[in-house]
Structure 1
Amino acid sequence: MEEKSTAFDEFDNYNSLTRRRNLLPVWIKIFLWIFLIGGTVSLILLMAGSFMTHVSLSIYGINADHPYSMTGLLISLLFLFKGIVAYGLWFEQKWAPQAAIVDAIIGIAVCIIMMAVIPFTSPKINFTIRLELIPLYFYLVKMRNIKKVWENI
């Protein structure tokens, strides 16, 4: 016999009420908002960069004074990518955990390059320990752990 479904049946199904966003810990949600804002600012800087004389940009130990320099473009693109990933995670897109894993790997790679390679090739840059590696590692582990559950919700 065929069961009749009502408008209230979806409230009995707990899986339909589970949000992907609830899989994220609070510290990742805080960073999501930071990078949503950072990605937006990066986009504005890329559009209006020719009107600005001095803008200090920095991420992962890369510094630039103008968004249209090579390092400025790299920093702006990193912030823009992080903003896209943050958008995907906040608005629960299916592709977001995979993009977050790529984001974490790129961040770890850039930190390692800035920490272990660049100081020995450029006399202007000194060796520094990049503490960004700590949250990036936990970000990568968390995203890898929730990827399957995220895609199945």
Structure 2
Amino acid sequence: MEEMILDNPRENGMERRRKLLPVWIKIFIWFFLISGILTPFVHVFGIIFEKHSSSIYGLLSSSSLSITSFIVSAIYLFKGLVAYGLWFEKDWGVKYAQIDAIVGIIICFLAMVLLPFVTDVVKFSFRFEILFLIPYYLKMIRIQQEWTARGIF
């Protein structure tokens, strides 16, 4: 058992989990890994200098002390955690990625359907993020099945 932990998976002919990730997901992983790292600093600087604008999934905030700003920051932090889990092949990475996709789809849907009625401007806007979130969720389901079926490192 101890030898398996210390062995290099490439030398043993074992396949890496990361290899199953398509290029487009790897690009988003790096974007959200960096975003997740920078989010606390951006948020604190926004509080100090009173200039801060952040948005994701249709949630937009121009004040660092607003609830929306904290929600947006929490989403970026969670996406950074998911990116870390996927890139470093953690067992929980794909499960968290599925949760991330579902939460993103729900927030996008609510932003499209509810926000026009609760804001001053009654205007429907289509959230293009949803076009990436649905394939992302479906791909994470397939990747999880591959990881478990083949016992990939």
Decide whether aligned partners of structure 1 residues 12 and 118 sit closer, same or farther in structure 2, where only a CA change above 3 A counts.
closer
Give the TM-score taking structure 1 as reference length.
0.85
Largest Rg, 1 or 2: 1
2:66 is aligned with 1:69: yes
Seq. identity, % = 42
Superposition deviation, residue 110 in structure 1 = 0.3
Superposition deviation, residue 48 in structure 1 = 4.0
2:47 is aligned with 1:58: no
Decide whether aligned partners of structure 1 residues 44 and 150 sit closer, same or farther in structure 2, where only a CA change above 3 A counts.
farther
Decide whether aligned partners of structure 1 residues 121 and 51 sit closer, same or farther in structure 2, where only a CA change above 3 A counts.
closer
Superposition deviation, residue 125 in structure 1 = 5.2
Decide whether aligned partners of structure 1 residues 34 and 11 sit closer, same or farther in structure 2, where only a CA change above 3 A counts.
closer
Decide whether aligned partners of structure 1 residues 11 and 87 sit closer, same or farther in structure 2, where only a CA change above 3 A counts.
closer
Q: Contact (CA 8 Å) 1:67, 1:76: kept in 2 or not?
A: no
Superposition deviation, residue 96 in structure 1 = 0.3
Aligned residue number for residue 98 of structure 2 = 101
Decide whether aligned partners of structure 1 residues 131 and 149 sit closer, same or farther in structure 2, where only a CA change above 3 A counts.
same
Superposition deviation, residue 117 in structure 1 = 1.4
Aligned CA RMSD, in angstroms, stands at 1.9
Q: Contact (CA 8 Å) 2:29, 2:83: kept in 1 or not?
A: yes
Aligned residue number for residue 4 of structure 2 = none
Superposition deviation, residue 13 in structure 1 = 4.0
Superposition deviation, residue 11 in structure 1 = 6.5
2:52 is aligned with 1:34: no
Residue type of the alignment partner of 2:31: I
Superposition deviation, residue 124 in structure 1 = 2.8
**3-state SS, counterpart of residue 145 of structure 2:** helix
Number of positions where the alignment pairs a residue of Structure 1 with one of Structure 2: 143
Aligned residue number for residue 17 of structure 2 = 20
Unaligned runs of 5+ in 1: 1-7
Superposition deviation, residue 112 in structure 1 = 0.1
